Chain A
Amino acid sequence: MNALARAPELPWIWMAVAAYAVTAGVAVAGVARGQQREKVVLGMLLTALVLVSVGIAARWARTGHGPFLNMFEILLSNLFSLGVVYAFAYWRLPVLRPTSVVVLPVILLLGLWLLVLRPAGGPLPPTYDTPWLWAHVAMGKVFLGTCLLAVGLAGVMWLRRTRLSAWFRDMPPDVSLDALAWRIMTLALVFESLMLIAGAVWAQGAWGRYWAWDPLETWAFVTWLALAAALHLRLSYPISPRLGALMILGVFVLAFLTFFGVPFVSMAPHKGMI
C-alpha cells in the first residue's frame, strides 16, 4: 500500500502489462487458428498504449521529469515506444501482422521485467536539460522498434521450420520476407545513425567530449558496426533467409544488450559521466 502511495503510476503500469499479455494471447491464438482478429489485436494494443501513457504521465507528474533516468524508466518508456512502432506497423503493413506472435511476447517480457524492478526515481542531472536528449532518445527508440519489426520477420522465418509452420501459410515466401526484413534493417540503420549523432552532440554539450568510448557508446558503436557488417555480408555472399534471420537476431541481441544490459551493469545510462 505504501509503495502505491509513493508511486501512483504503478496500477496503470500493471494494467498496461496485463493488456499487453491479453493482446499477445489474442494475437497468438488468432494466428494459430488462421483468423487473426486484427481489429481486436490493434484495439487491445492501443488500450495497452493508453494505459502505459497514463502510467508515464503519472510518474512524470510525480518525479517532475520524463522517463530517462534508470532501468525502470528506460523499460517503461520502451514499453511505450516499441508498442507505438509496432502498432503503427501492424496498422500500415498488413503483411507484418502474423509477426505479432513473435513481437508481442518480446514486448510482454519487457513488461514483466519492469514489474520486478523498484520504481525508485532520482533527480534529473542538469545535463539532461537539452533538446538533444529528446532527439537522442527518440531516435534510439525508433531504431529499436524498427529492429524489432525485422526480428518479428526473422522469428517467423525460423518458426516456419517448426511444427508451427502452418500458422504462417498465408505469409509470402521466405525470400520476400527476407528482402522486407533487410529493408527494415536499412531503415533501422538510418535511425541508429541518427541516434549516435544526436548522442554525440549531447555528449559534447554535457561532458565536453563528443565521443569517449564509455560502455554505452562502445556497445552502441559495436551494434552499428554489426548491422553494417551484416548488410555487407549479404552483398558479398549468398546468405540464405534463415541465416539472414539469425543475423537480424544477432544485431537485435546486441542492441538489446546496449539498451538494457549496459545501463543495468553501470546504473546510470552513461556511467560516471553525470
Chain B
Amino acid sequence: MLRLLSSVRLTLVGMALLCAGVLLSYNRPAAPLWWLVAPLGLLAVNLLAAIAVNPGINRQGGLLVFHLALLGIVVLAAVGRLVHLDGVVEVTEDSAFLPGDVQVLAKGPLHPMGFSKVFFVQGPFTVDYGPELSRSTTRSQVLAPDGAGRLVPMVVGDDHPLILHGYRFYTSSNKGFAPLLTWIPEHGKPVTGAIHMPSYPLFDWKQDNRWTPPGGAEIRFWLRLKTPLRADAAWTMDRKDSSGVLIVSSGGRRIELKPGQTARLEGGSLRFDELRTWMGYKIFYDPTLPWLFVVAVAGVGGLAWHFWRRLGSSGPERTGRAAGFSAGHGALHT
C-alpha cells in the first residue's frame, strides 16, 4: 500500500489531474474548489509517502528540502485560504476607519475577524493621472499606530499597504469626494456626517447621491465641481485644488450650497460644512504570506543545491541511463 502511495507514477497521475484542475478552473470563478484541492491532496499524500520510504528522495538533502518545501507551500496555502479575508472599505478624510463599514468579499471559515482592533485615521491623498485618465501613483496619508501605539503619519499606496494586525490596506482606483454635512433638526441634536459621492473620475458625470435625515424627507445631492475633468493632459487629483457647489433638492425645492452655507428644509436645516474626500481600500488578510515566501525560497535553494551537487559528481545517476555533465566531454570545465 505504502509502495503504491509513494510511487512516482502516482505523482504523474496527480500532476496530470492538477493540470486538468487548473485549466478547468481558470477563468471560472465559480469552479468547485475540489478540482484543485483533490489533486493537491493526492500529491501531498504521495509526497509524504515517498519521503518516508524512497531513498531517492530522502537521502538526497537538496531534493528532500525542495520536496518538503513543496509540501510546506501546499499546507501554508491551505491554511492561508482557511483564515484569509478579502474586503473593501471606504474611509472618509479626517475620519477614523470604521470596522463596521468593511464589506467582506470573501473569507475563510476560520478567519478570526480581528479587524475590530484596527484603528487609523484617514488624511488627505493625491492621485497622479497621465493623459487619457491613466491612473498613476496614489499617495494616501494616514495616521496609524506605530509599534509603540503612538499615532504617526504614514503614506499608503497601491503597492505600499498599511499593515495593521495582519490586515493589509491597499489604496485602489475607487475613491472620490465626500461633502461633509451637518443636519440640524428642529428638535433634537445636530448630526454631522459625510456622504460619499460615486468614484471619481470614473463617475465624473454622475456625482450624485441621496440621504434621508432623521425626522426629515429624502434629500438628493449633486456635486458640481468647479474644475472640469481633464482627460487630455496629466493632472493630479488633490482635494486642495478641488472645490464645488452642492446642489440639494428636497420636497420640490432646489438649492445651491457653497461650503459653510445652510439650507432650510422640511424638518430641519442642512449645512454644507466642507468638501472632503474618501479613499477606497482593498483589504487583504493572510498571515501565511511571509512563511510562504521563506519556504518557497528555501525550496528553490534546495533544488539549486541538488543541481550543484549533481554537477560536481561524476557518479552514475540513480536511473543509470547517463552520466550527466561529466559525460558531456568535460563540458563545464573547458
| Contact surface of A with B, Cβ cutoff 8 Å | 92-96, 123, 125-127, 129-130, 172, 175-180, 183, 186-187, 189-190, 193-194, 197, 200-201, 204-206, 208-210, 213, 215, 218, 221-222, 225-226, 228-229, 232-236, 238
- B327 contacts which of A93, A172, A186, A222 (Cβ < 8 Å)? A172
Task: Judge whether A123 and B136 touch: CB under 8 Å.
Answer: yes
CA distance A209 to B22 in the complex (A): 18
Task: Judge whether B319 and A234 touch: CB under 8 Å.
Answer: yes
CA distance A218 to B25 in the complex (A): 10
Task: Judge whether A127 and B159 touch: CB under 8 Å.
Answer: yes
**Could you tell me which residues of chain B, from 146 to 166, have a CB within 8 Å of some CB in chain A?**
157-161
Q: What is the predominant secondary structure among interface residues of chain A facing chain B?
A: helix
Task: Judge whether B311 and A183 touch: CB under 8 Å.
Answer: yes
Contacts of A179 in B (CB 8 A): 317, 321-325, 327-328
Residue from the set B135, B160, B321, B332 with the largest chain A CB neighbour count within 10 Å: B321
Smallest CB-CB separation from A221: which chain B residue? B22
Query: Given A180-B324, A193-B296, A236-B9, are A92 and B332 neighbors across the interface (CB < 8 Å)?
Result: yes
Contacts of A234 in B (CB 8 A): 319
- B25 contacts which of A178, A180, A208, A213 (Cβ < 8 Å)? A213
| Contact surface of B with A, Cβ cutoff 8 Å | 7-9, 11-12, 15-16, 18-19, 22-23, 25-27, 56, 86, 128, 130, 134-138, 157-161, 168, 170, 282, 284, 289, 292-293, 296-297, 299-300, 303-304, 306-307, 310-311, 317-319, 321-325, 327-329, 331-332, 334
Contacts of B138 in A (CB 8 A): 126
- A93 contacts which of B86, B306, B331 (Cβ < 8 Å)? B331
User: Which 5 A-B pairs give the minimum distances between C-beta atoms?
Assistant: A179-B322, A95-B331, A176-B327, A236-B8, A180-B328
Query: Given A180-B325, A210-B292, A232-B8, are A130 and B159 neighbors across the interface (CB < 8 Å)?
Result: yes
CA distance A95 to B161 in the complex (A): 50
Task: Judge whether A186 and B307 touch: CB under 8 Å.
Answer: yes
Task: Judge whether B22 and A222 touch: CB under 8 Å.
Answer: yes
Task: Judge whether A93 and B332 touch: CB under 8 Å.
Answer: yes
Task: Judge whether B26 and A193 touch: CB under 8 Å.
Answer: no
- B12 contacts which of A127, A183, A187, A233 (Cβ < 8 Å)? A233
Contacts of B324 in A (CB 8 A): 179-180, 183
CA distance A130 to B284 in the complex (A): 20
Task: Judge whether B321 and A218 touch: CB under 8 Å.
Answer: no
- B284 contacts which of A177, A209, A225 (Cβ < 8 Å)? A209
Contacts of B292 in A (CB 8 A): 200, 210
Task: Judge whether A177 and B134 touch: CB under 8 Å.
Answer: no
